[in-house]
A and B are shown apart, each in its own frame.
Chain A
């Protein structure tokens, strides 16, 4: 496959693999937790990029799939007593199904209207889950600590969660890459550039968009399940945090939408920055404002993001800066 011959893909995968192994060997819980969060965002940002960067549909509500898929997966583990692995998978599939269904209504909207609809989705989903008895309503669900025993105790479970998120992050990046280099991806990018022209050229836009939407929702569903499993509980307020959606968006814009490396870099740099800011008492409460400033500056001056800008500046590096 043409995709596998590009150096970029192997570079990123190798970097991620090495990082994971380093954390493993150092056996440091703090590093592990930080890495967990970072890798989680890499996964979230890369998956959203499939919809936003490749297909050109800006979603403000991406976190809804993290929440809904995560809820489903967590429900299966805590209430139905499933094993984590199939539960996470079902969480992902559930996220994808919700996306496909939602897409029937929402993908018909173009540009700004679609974005607006996605803002409402998050609110609606939270309100819905708040009232949904099987998912615990407003109090949510929690995990009996004995469940961790099935995975070798809570310490081991934490390492397991890390390992799974690490694998999913790699899987998301690889998928993102494969999509970009595939015929499917070419169709998506044509839709992004000019949806009507793409249709006239034969791209089955409605179907392609639905697949992109579902694919972008699959990984967050899995990640959500793992995240809530690690935390031991889930509640509506937690699962549908709008600012996680926003921050994922900012990460993509910062790093460079439509590239594979962009979301990775964006996620890493943004999260690191946030980590430093949270420690400082002055900036702690301002971090939402600062992300806003960052987003504004990017939109006004560097809309292509860091990677996009680099690609324009140094065309020779295109092969690596995919």
Chain B
């Protein structure tokens, strides 16, 4: 029993890094431009699909494919921003909410038409690592490592490069940043691209662990919302922390109740945090 619990928790913990990565993308966009990206789920799905297709048709190692997927995510984010978000960036929040939701529908609709709703699986098993009673698959381990690596890159980018700093400036105060000569439109587009990149990479990592359908992005989107709210909006570190907490929680729940209850618990947690402590556990920004 205890062994089962520890295994479950470890699995959840490792997965939590990937959740955190996904949530970071959402949190970044939210923090920089106050837009809640409802296309987040489909972008995760794009990451999953791209990795799968590259694996199946080109034979590309999924872990190498991550670089390609990152590029796809970035470009996709730029496109979404320019077509859908830019026009409503200063409108009431609900406009951008509905606009990104529309993008969500478009992407999912196209995928549904082209790929159908079947399950896809990346058969790239690497075996597992055993330490005593602890049994962890390498894919989970690698996914966590990948997530941490990308997080580190993100941190370095935001704090040590010029564009990264301008992103943080715009997030802090868009008007002031513009006054100082920062081209805010380009920065916003880039931020959206970056957020999408993170989501796509997270999707890519997830696809190495679980099989997926084109609708799999949805639950991860919900998890990202819960995590962002838990960790505080616009706070990437908070997103990571929130991801770990959620991962651990998911490791715990199946011990006491069937996994199908997970969405209910997550939703309850989501509403609870929003009502009780809207700035999240670590505080916003």
Of B109, B218, B258, the residue contacting A131 (CB under 8 A) is: B258
A136 CB to closest chain B CB, in angstroms? 14
Number of residue pairs A-B, CB distance < 8 angstroms: 118
Given A285-B112, A288-B109, A295-B105: A124 in contact with B263 (beta carbons within 8 A): yes
| B225 and A291 within 8 A (CB) | no
B160 CB to closest chain A CB, in angstroms? 32
Given A113-B274, A113-B278, A299-B102: A289 in contact with B113 (beta carbons within 8 A): yes
Of A115, A126, A286, the residue contacting B94 (CB under 8 A) is: A115
Given A292-B105, A303-B95: A286 in contact with B260 (beta carbons within 8 A): no
B222 / chain A contacts, CB cutoff of 8 Å: 119-120, 123
Within 8 A of A (CB), among B2-24: none
Can you give 13 A-B contacts (C-beta < 8 A)?
A: A58-B94, A111-B93, A117-B274, A120-B270, A120-B271, A121-B267, A131-B260, A249-B98, A253-B98, A285-B109, A289-B105, A289-B112, A293-B106
A289 / chain B contacts, CB cutoff of 8 Å: 105-110, 112-113
| B263 and A112 within 8 A (CB) | no
**A131 vs B265: C-alpha distance when bound (angstroms):** 13
Within 8 A of A (CB), among B105-140: 105-110, 112-113
B104 within 8 Å of A by Cβ? yes
What are the 8 A-B residue pairs with the smallest beta carbon separation, nearest first?
Answer: A289-B109, A292-B105, A288-B109, A292-B106, A296-B102, A124-B267, A285-B113, A295-B102
| B105 and A109 within 8 A (CB) | no
Given A117-B274, A120-B267, A286-B109: A292 in contact with B97 (beta carbons within 8 A): no
**A121 vs B270: C-alpha distance when bound (angstroms):** 10
Name the residue on B nearest A243 (C-beta).
B105
| A123 and B94 within 8 A (CB) | no
B101 / chain A contacts, CB cutoff of 8 Å: 60, 246, 295
B209 CB to closest chain A CB, in angstroms? 21
A106 within 8 Å of B by Cβ? yes
B247 CB to closest chain A CB, in angstroms? 18
A128 within 8 Å of B by Cβ? yes
B270 / chain A contacts, CB cutoff of 8 Å: 116-117, 120
Given contacts A115-B97, A288-B105, could you give 10 more A-B pairs where the C-beta distance is less than 8 Å? A111-B92, A120-B225, A123-B222, A124-B264, A124-B268, A127-B261, A128-B264, A285-B112, A288-B112, A296-B106
**A36 vs B94: C-alpha distance when bound (angstroms):** 32
| B105 and A286 within 8 A (CB) | no
B225 / chain A contacts, CB cutoff of 8 Å: 116, 119-120
A31 within 8 Å of B by Cβ? no
B186 within 8 Å of A by Cβ? no
| B267 and A123 within 8 A (CB) | yes
B213 CB to closest chain A CB, in angstroms? 14
A175 within 8 Å of B by Cβ? no
**A300 vs B106: C-alpha distance when bound (angstroms):** 15
A108 within 8 Å of B by Cβ? yes
A105 within 8 Å of B by Cβ? yes
Binding site for A on B (CB under 8 A): 36, 38, 84, 87-88, 92-95, 97-99, 101-110, 112-113, 218-219, 222, 225, 258, 260-264, 266-268, 270-272, 274-275, 278
| A299 and B267 within 8 A (CB) | no
Of B36, B88, B258, B263, the residue contacting A123 (CB under 8 A) is: B263
B38 / chain A contacts, CB cutoff of 8 Å: 119
**A289 vs B103: C-alpha distance when bound (angstroms):** 8
Given A105-B275, A131-B261: A299 in contact with B110 (beta carbons within 8 A): no
- Interface residue count for A (Cβ, 8 Å)? 39
A45 CB to closest chain B CB, in angstroms? 15
| A108 and B275 within 8 A (CB) | yes
**A128 vs B258: C-alpha distance when bound (angstroms):** 11
A122 CB to closest chain B CB, in angstroms? 9
| B262 and A127 within 8 A (CB) | yes
A152 CB to closest chain B CB, in angstroms? 39
**A246 vs B102: C-alpha distance when bound (angstroms):** 9
A105 / chain B contacts, CB cutoff of 8 Å: 271-272, 275
B84 / chain A contacts, CB cutoff of 8 Å: 296, 300
Of B110, B267, B272, the residue contacting A286 (CB under 8 A) is: B110
**A60 vs B272: C-alpha distance when bound (angstroms):** 19
Name the residue on B nearest A296 (C-beta).
B102
**A246 vs B264: C-alpha distance when bound (angstroms):** 21
Complex interface bits, A90-130 against B, C-beta within 8 A gives 1, otherwise 0:
00000000000000011011011101110111011011101
B113 / chain A contacts, CB cutoff of 8 Å: 285-286, 289
**A222 vs B260: C-alpha distance when bound (angstroms):** 28
Given A115-B97, A120-B267: A292 in contact with B104 (beta carbons within 8 A): yes
A111 / chain B contacts, CB cutoff of 8 Å: 92-94
A311 CB to closest chain B CB, in angstroms? 19
Of A112, A131, A292, A295, the residue contacting B36 (CB under 8 A) is: A112
| A120 and B266 within 8 A (CB) | yes
Of B87, B109, B260, the residue contacting A287 (CB under 8 A) is: B109
| A112 and B93 within 8 A (CB) | yes
Name the residue on A nearest B38 (C-beta).
A119
Name the residue on A nearest B268 (C-beta).
A124
A286 / chain B contacts, CB cutoff of 8 Å: 109-110, 113
Given A120-B225, A299-B95: A292 in contact with B267 (beta carbons within 8 A): no
B274 / chain A contacts, CB cutoff of 8 Å: 109, 113, 117
A194 CB to closest chain B CB, in angstroms? 11
**A108 vs B261: C-alpha distance when bound (angstroms):** 25
A290 within 8 Å of B by Cβ? yes
A107 CB to closest chain B CB, in angstroms? 10
